[in-house]
Amino acid sequence: MVLRYFGIRVSDLDKSVKFYTEKLGLKLKRKGTMYHGGKWVLLEDPRSHQRLELNWYPEESPYSTSLEPEDRLDHIGFKVQNPAATFKRLTSQGATPALAPSDKHGVKGIYYVEDPDGNWLELF
């Protein structure tokens, strides 16, 4: 496994992108829209190459929260050789699936499990 990035929830995507790029010097890598209307932006530190994903969810999204401090960490992304096999191994060892594996909404090949505190780990 390779720790690739952290994903955090934000209330105003444009404002957050501006903050992280203009004030902290991160660079925009990619951005996109989720099947439920949410939006994401992947930023990267040009020196360390560490990445931060900003996630914004509309109110009607099943992943929208009140953004209390404990709700802001969205997920931690791990790049793995075989996401399905890694998911199977982790769940057979007691990890709780956070989101059922599915390609129904365009998330084919991406799996989520929970850590012991309920934080989501993305396996891609």
Residue 99: pLDDT above 90? Answer: no
CATH number of the domain that 32 lies in?
3.10.180.10
Residues 85 and 56 in one domain: no
| Chain segment 61-76, per-residue pLDDT in tens | 887 877 676 667 778 8
Residue with tokens 């360390």: 48
What average pLDDT does the segment 4-33 reach?
A: 91
Has residue 75 been placed in a domain? no
State pTM to two decimals.
Answer: 0.69
105 vs 61: which has the higher pLDDT: 61
- Mean pLDDT score of the chain: 86
Has residue 1 been placed in a domain? no
Name every residue whose Cβ is closer than 8 Å to that of residue 71 and which is 6 or more positions away in sequence.
9, 65
Residues 97 and 119 in one domain: yes
Lowest mean pLDDT of 10-14, 50-54, 56-60, 103-107, name the range. 103-107
Q: Cβ atoms within 10 A of the Cβ of 36, count? A: 13
Boundaries of domain holding 44:
6-68
